[in-house]
Amino acid sequence: MNAKLLIDAVVRQTTVLVAHLATSAGLRAPLGHIANSVFLELSSELSAQGVSRKVQADMFGMALRTYQSKIQRLSASQDDENQPLWAAVFEFIQSEEVASQAQVLRQFYGEDESMVRSILWDLCESGLVFQKGRGTGTIYRLASDEELEKVARSDAEAAALPMIWLNIYLHGPVTRGDLEGLVELEPELVEKALIALVEDVRVARDDSAEEPVYSCEQLVIPINDPIGWETAFFDHFNAVVTAACIKLRNARLRSLPSDVVGGSTYSFEIWEGHPHGERVLGLLRNFREDLSVLRQEVDEYNLEHKRDDEETKKVTFYLGQSVIE
């Protein structure tokens, strides 16, 4: 197996995914920390796999002292990241409530003017900023601090609940402290999400230990639910990566008919009026319907027959479908 070629291909495809996530819904998420974060996370995972620091340094093409120095430096500065120019321009307009193009350019005089103009255009295109007028006399404004904070708070609370639920499902039983380490959310949002999940009986709380422990056996996000798409997205991505890692860890690099771990990809070329077109396009819908029925049957049986003294297997089945015109 040529691991280097495969790693390069996976990294290229991952950057495409990150770029789409960073620009979804008109947002422009900061990316300046990505390279350092990837280095630290990769080093941490290599250590978890039992690879020594000396071997890690060699894998990165560094001397051991240089490698250790970089780890220490990045770890110390991880929380001290520079603010992206996009966010700085947005915050300046927000602080002024109404700002002219001339004011913005003057405020960021030391920056590349074409970059500042491009950011202004991008903010307007994303719907976060409104403009009126032309040229340097163009006026920019955005919603009040209260309105923006309310929207941001509402979005954060809505996204927190399914994300907390997912992490309890994947890593449970966990404490509140464990969850705060797994998700980058304010402790207040974590607490509110836990209360709501326990009240809805989606998550069980065990108070017998020194600190309350949370767990759950099911994670179901309705297909038509507009809230929690990030959780559903990550859950699917996590399932794909987990299956690939298990297969690599077991050194089973060939597919066999009897496999219970792995994945398959099938591509079809169809056109309008194709006799098999509806069957092909209906694959995702049909699988979802069949699997939903099967999951309900398994859950009902387990509720009545599950034995605590038996070891259980957690089987995660993932599927996806894309259509390119």
Measured at the alpha carbon of residue 93, what is the angle toward residues 91 and 95, in degrees to the nearest 5? 65
Residue 309 lies in a domain: no
The answer to whether residues 291 and 322 belong to one domain is yes
- Tell me what the mean pLDDT of segment 151-163 comes to: 65
How would residue 244 be classed by pLDDT, with cut points 50, 70 and 90? Answer: confident
The answer to whether residues 250 and 153 belong to one domain is yes
The values of phi and psi at residue 132, to 5°, are: -145, 135
In this predicted structure, the answer to whether residue 273 has a pLDDT above a threshold of 90 is: yes
Residue 251 lies in a domain: yes
The pTM of this model reads 0.53
Task: Say which residues have a Cβ less than 8 Å from residue 63's Cβ, sequence separation at least 6.
Answer: 57
Which strand ranges, in their side-by-side order, compose the sheet holding 130-132?
A: 98-100, 139-141, 130-132
The answer to whether residues 239 and 183 belong to one domain is yes
The answer to whether residues 71 and 135 belong to one domain is no
Q: What is the pLDDT of residues 13-26, one digit of tens each?
A: 788 778 877 776 56
Q: Residue 180: what pLDDT?
A: 82
Which strand ranges, in their side-by-side order, compose the sheet holding 174-175?
A: 174-175, 213-215, 204-206
Residue 310 lies in a domain: no
The answer to whether residues 156 and 253 belong to one domain is yes
Residue 70 lies in a domain: yes
The domain of 131 spans: 85-142
The answer to whether residues 251 and 275 belong to one domain is no
| C-beta of residue 165 within 8 angstroms of C-beta of residue 203 | yes
The amino acid at 88: A
Residue 274 lies in a domain: yes
The answer to whether residues 161 and 132 belong to one domain is no
The answer to whether residues 192 and 138 belong to one domain is no
Q: What is the end-to-end Cα distance of the chain in Å, rounded?
A: 34
The answer to whether residues 54 and 33 belong to one domain is yes
Q: Residue 80: what pLDDT?
A: 46
- Domain containing 249 — which CATH number? 1.10.10.10
Q: What is the pLDDT of residues 71-121, one digit of tens each?
A: 887 776 555 445 577 778 888 887 887 888 888 888 888 788 888 888 888
Q: Report the b/e string of 275-302 with b at 16+ CB within 10 A.
A: eeeeeeeeeeeeeeeeeeeeeeeeeeee
In this predicted structure, the answer to whether residue 272 has a pLDDT above a threshold of 90 is: yes
* CA dist., res. 167 & res. 154, Å (int): 20
Instruction: Choose the final residue of a domain: 109, 127, 142.
Output: 142
The answer to whether residues 90 and 109 belong to one domain is yes
The answer to whether residues 225 and 293 belong to one domain is no
Total domains present in the chain? 4
Give me 186's structure tokens. 């304010």
Q: What is the pLDDT of residues 60-71, one digit of tens each?
A: 888 888 888 888
The answer to whether residues 158 and 193 belong to one domain is yes
